Chains A and B, each alone.
Chain A
Amino acid sequence: MTATTERQAIGKPLPKPDAWLKATGTAVYAGDVRLPGMLEGKILRSPHPHARIVSIDASAAAAMPGVYAVATGDDVGATRIGRFIRDRHALARERVRYVGEPVAAVAAIDEETAERALQLINVAYDPLPAVFEPEEAIAPDAPILHPDLPSYQDSARSTREGNVRNRVRHDVGDVDVAFAEPDVVVHETTYRTPRQSQAFTEPHAAVAQIDGTGKVTVWASIKAPFRGRVSIADTLGVPVSHVRLIAPAIGGDFGGKGAAFIEPIAAVLARKARRPVRLTLSRVEEFSAMTSRPSAVIRLRMAVRHDGTLVAMDASMVYNVGAVDDTQAGTANSAVSLVGAYHIPNVRVEATSVYTNCSPAGHVRAPSGPQTSFATESHLDRLARMIGMDPLELRERNALRNGDVVPSGHGILQNSGLDECLKRARAWMARELGSKRPHQGIGTAVSFWALHPNPAAVDSAATVKVDVDGSVAVLTGVADQGGGQWSMVGQVASEVLGVPVEQVSVIAADTEATPYEQGTGGSNTTYRVGNVVRQAAEEARRQVLRLAAEQLKVDEEELDLRDGNVRVRSDPSRQLSVAQVAQGALASPAGAIIGTSGEAREREIREHGHERADIVDAPSFACHVAVASVDPETGVTSVDRYYTVQDVGRALNLLNCTGQIEGGVIFGLGYALTEEIQSDNGINLNANLWEYLLPTAPHVPELTVELVEIPSTFGPFGAKGVGETPCIPVAAAVANAIDDALGVRATQVPLTPERVLAAIREQRPELLENRA
């Protein structure tokens, strides 16, 4: 490599700086925060799926020694909270809508006292009829969960009525004419997918403190601090600037820590108790009363010509979103996700989210991705089989190409890595997969994470400071939920400023100290935040070079900046360290070296015109191959090998990039094979880690991850999103492998022994009858 192309930090397999802290148990999580006089909070939860709260008598609890505050719905104000639609209160007011809904909370001297006080709170309920399935909930005489739904604030302006939380339609071409074509093969199936928990390692925790001036400070496991503070402020009835939210280390999120649930309760308790309050959830509370991926029933009909041209898709999707769906977990993106990575000229999809008296729906890694991918990618395999075509070839023939308008209508596809992923997957299969063992099958599936950030609308800013010793501090609002966002920030600043990555510190996720940031998620954090950090660092770099040029009496263009030194290219003996430049800056008119993103960003938008909203600059595609063995006598599926190739644009950190993809595949394997929240009359039955079956080490097959790097035009160093794409198609790839192994199509996730056996009995009973 030449000196000009060698990178300071980008592309290197650098360990995350916080990994050492986490491995040694010294990382500070929200629940580790200890303040003088701090109390412990506990939540009293509804035992009813649907009931009117007649009265709450908390006098005995409040009078108990060691109890400092009891809060109920009367303490949280009338303003509802929520991310998009505001469909909940921090503590229930007037009625409860799911088992586990917070009804009251206690702050006491210790957890045991708080627990005992909860038992002294007397709540009189008047039970109401409850509904648990969408079909019941949309029946004409069904009890309505949210009678005032039409008047709820909703920044997404969703279509809603009765128990229908949201309905989205996607209509292109003429589906009826296409299905009536004489030469098409038509296939229809109904697919079912489960509720999935985020199952992060760290349960929710929050510590709230209110000082004598009324200033609220909350340390919380929340990955969108600027969003979370709004719910706290609205619950307390104070301006957002009175709330400072700090997100320290977060032990996993997977979508479940993007909206405030317990933080407003902790703040209300702290205000009443006049002492700091810590609130932490148990694993049972996480599984029984917090959010999960909504279950879906997807009826899908598709038509394909004998030459493999997809001509039509007609589908209806119904999501059970429980009693709360403020994040719009079901329909936000699903109508178009169902179309997937393909060009289909005639499409009619209707997606409906329905409120029921089940526990709340929320975001789980790639909201609506795994559900829709399971249906479409399963369906494509069956269509390929029906027309006698190789399943990958069918996908290749219909794949979106650069210049196509993506199904979302959000713009024109650019920088697509799909063809390359398909080619690499095919090559791997040819190279690595020999003849199959009995009852072994190979399944493929494509992943497309359809969300894309508009390059100009980033909702984020950054500040970069260069200190007198040559070190660099980056101020950013971004939270790191374990995905390595902070290490990415450090690498980008290091690269741009030519300063070793060890000398960059990241000050982050503090709503008072750091610039605004919309929140981690959507696989767009690197793209958005990486860019503003780059822009702020470039601004600081310009200042460094200008000051150095003045001191060295050369043109800025003559200078080279790397490894913490500014050198004159033609005479490297003439140099200044960044520290010397920063010291010089103190006495200069500038006063100090501080770069901010805003000015650089405006300039870029002017120069490149990339405010254009009609392009998909950083599409994330992947192709997966599952090799699985199915035991026809027990229905047990074991995944023997798993391959994924993903276009990441540019791997800013190789370790982190492959780690995200490996983790995503394992997340998807859990969804494919074992994970399902099971409930009876609104009560989650397997609300623990021995019955909610996460994948464990023996179930992770040999994983092969290949990266394709087709850069985005506007992402930092060409980067695209990574984290969500790998978990999306796994269930379909495994189902397709089962079909390849046995000729049996299982249409319900997870693909448990009971479901595979049931599919065998229904579709190939001879496998059960004619053995031995």
Chain B
Amino acid sequence: MRPFDYAAPATMTEATQLLRDVAAAPLGGGTDLLPLMKDGLVEPSRLVDLRRLPGLESIEPVAGGLRLGALVTLDRIESDDAIRTGFRLLAEAASAASSPQLRNMGTLGGNLCQRPRCWYFRGGYRCFRAGGDACYAVGGENEYLAILGGDPCYIVHPSDVGPALIALDAQIALQGPDGRRFVQAEDFFVGVKESLTRETVLEPGEIVTHVELPAQPSGARGTYLKAMDRGAWSFALAAVAAQLALDGGIVRDARIVLGGVAPTPWRCPAAEQALVGATLSGTTAALAAARAVEGAQPMSRNAYKVDLARGLVERALARLMPDRGSG
């Protein structure tokens, strides 16, 4: 590992100053950054530890919604009463991530900013994502990679929390050297057409400080489902975050977001349109599930993900049917 400086600023101003240096990296729980450094995939000359900054570890009610600091751990998201009652989808997503030990350390902001898990990228191949000029997965071992939005780089975004935040229409607060801005969760992630080496809109020196969950409409209910090779401590083969607003059996609003199938969390507008205004039933669920994977272009070894994602969407919708008692 390359030697680095360590700084633990007490104020945001100080932190953004320290992060101006292009070779500086913000440190939260360190569950992704430190392994990346040990593997030589990133070599920051300075780590800026954010854990002394005030206010980044709080969960506060705001206007019917919640405001979460970027350093709130996944473990707290999973167990917080306000999140579990009002934004169950997010608690489920957090609890599906990784292992208890890692959820004790891993943070909300870090989960959104983690780097892709493609084994060619992580294995040190000079691929697109690493600044090179090829995708080794195309003719290689691609069973875990993208079926949607891939070409030319087929990473899948590994976050469980990301799809949940998009389904909840969250806003993400960013702080950079030039000030503060808000982006919709959906706009936070960057597809391969925009950049091959970044996964988020974060500019150099910019960090995630908060996430704001807006009040959900009446009749709102949501769930997060994740399929894994191993039922815990592994990344999604496919996942779905589904948030509906129901009025009796009628769907008034729907947000369906897939995880583990595309370079970003993958929103499914066609599936949402199939639901809004319809009665939630097995038939509409099957239709929406089929729409969710429309346009999928599997590679040589990952066609199973089409069936898998479709099955998860259908199951999530079935779970949200009023007589199923979930919410």
Query: Do these two chains really belong together in a complex?
Result: yes
Q: For B314, what are the chain A residues with a Cβ–Cβ distance below 8 Å?
A: 633, 771-772
Q: Is B119 in contact with A685, judged by CB distance below 8 angstroms?
A: yes
Q: For A760, what are the chain B residues with a Cβ–Cβ distance below 8 Å?
A: 307
Q: How far is the CA of A772 from the CA of B317 in the complex (A)?
A: 11
B85 interface contact, C-beta 8 A: no
Q: How far is the CA of A635 from the CA of B231 in the complex (A)?
A: 12
B241 CB to closest chain A CB (Å) equals: 16
Q: For A752, what are the chain B residues with a Cβ–Cβ distance below 8 Å?
A: 229
Stretch binding the partner chain, chosen from A174-182, A195-203, A346-354, A689-697: A689-697
B194 CB to closest chain A CB (Å) equals: 27
A interface footprint on B66-83 (CB within 8 Å = 1, 0 otherwise) = 000000000000000000
Q: How far is the CA of A483 from the CA of B237 in the complex (A)?
A: 36
17 A-B pairs (CB sep. < 8 Å): A634-B311, A636-B227, A636-B228, A636-B231, A674-B229, A678-B119, A685-B119, A685-B120, A687-B123, A698-B231, A753-B227, A754-B304, A754-B308, A755-B304, A760-B307, A768-B307, A771-B286
A105 interface contact, C-beta 8 A: no
Residues facing A in B116-134 (CB within 8 A) are 117, 119-120, 123
Q: How far is the CA of A771 from the CA of B232 in the complex (A)?
A: 27
A758 interface contact, C-beta 8 A: yes
Q: How far is the CA of A683 from the CA of B233 in the complex (A)?
A: 24
Residues facing A in B234-274 (CB within 8 A) are 234, 237
Residue among A686, A693, A696, A772 with the highest chain B CB neighbour number at 10 A: A772
Q: How far is the CA of A47 from the CA of B44 in the complex (A)?
A: 26
Q: Is A680 in contact with B311, judged by CB distance below 8 angstroms?
A: no
A632 CB to closest chain B CB (Å) equals: 8
Q: Is A757 in contact with B230, judged by CB distance below 8 angstroms?
A: no
Q: How far is the CA of A755 from the CA of B143 in the complex (A)?
A: 11
Q: For A691, what are the chain B residues with a Cβ–Cβ distance below 8 Å?
A: 117, 119
Residues facing A in B135-149 (CB within 8 A) are 136, 140-141, 143
B312 interface contact, C-beta 8 A: yes
Q: How many residues of B contact A (CB 8 A)?
A: 35
Q: For A696, what are the chain B residues with a Cβ–Cβ distance below 8 Å?
A: 99, 230, 232-233
Q: Is A753 in contact with B234, judged by CB distance below 8 angstroms?
A: no
- Chain A interface residues toward B at CB < 8 A: 631, 633-636, 638, 673-674, 678-680, 683, 685-687, 690-691, 693, 695-696, 698-699, 752-755, 757-758, 760-761, 768, 771-772
Q: Is B141 in contact with A633, judged by CB distance below 8 angstroms?
A: no
A44 CB to closest chain B CB (Å) equals: 16
Contact A772 to B237, CB < 8 A, known contacts A685-B141, A696-B232 = no
Q: How far is the CA of A678 from the CA of B231 in the complex (A)?
A: 19
Q: Is A680 in contact with B229, judged by CB distance below 8 angstroms?
A: no
Contact A633 to B234, CB < 8 A, known contacts A674-B229, A754-B304 = no
Q: Is A699 in contact with B237, judged by CB distance below 8 angstroms?
A: no
When A and B form their complex, what is the total count of cross-chain residue pairs whose Cβ atoms lie within 8 Å? Answer: 89
Residue of B nearest to A636 (CB): B227
Q: How far is the CA of A633 from the CA of B283 in the complex (A)?
A: 16
A interface footprint on B96-120 (CB within 8 Å = 1, 0 otherwise) = 0001000000000000000001011
Residue from the list B234, B312, B318 in contact with A634, Cβ < 8 A:
B312
Contact A699 to B285, CB < 8 A, known contacts A635-B308, A678-B141, A768-B307 = no
B53 CB to closest chain A CB (Å) equals: 29
B301 CB to closest chain A CB (Å) equals: 8
Contact A633 to B315, CB < 8 A, known contacts A754-B304, A761-B307, A772-B282 = yes
- 19 extra interchain contacts, Cβ-Cβ under 8 A, other than A633-B308, A757-B308, A772-B283? A633-B312, A634-B308, A634-B311, A635-B227, A636-B228, A673-B230, A686-B119, A687-B123, A690-B233, A690-B234, A698-B231, A752-B229, A754-B237, A754-B302, A754-B308, A758-B303, A758-B304, A771-B314, A772-B318
Residue among B123, B286, B314 with the highest chain A CB neighbour number at 10 A: B123
Q: Is B232 in contact with A698, judged by CB distance below 8 angstroms?
A: yes
Q: For B140, what are the chain A residues with a Cβ–Cβ distance below 8 Å?
A: 680
Q: Is A685 in contact with B123, judged by CB distance below 8 angstroms?
A: yes
Residues facing A in B141-166 (CB within 8 A) are 141, 143
Q: For B315, what are the chain A residues with a Cβ–Cβ distance below 8 Å?
A: 633-634
Residue of B nearest to A683 (CB): B123
Q: How far is the CA of A212 from the CA of B103 in the complex (A)?
A: 54
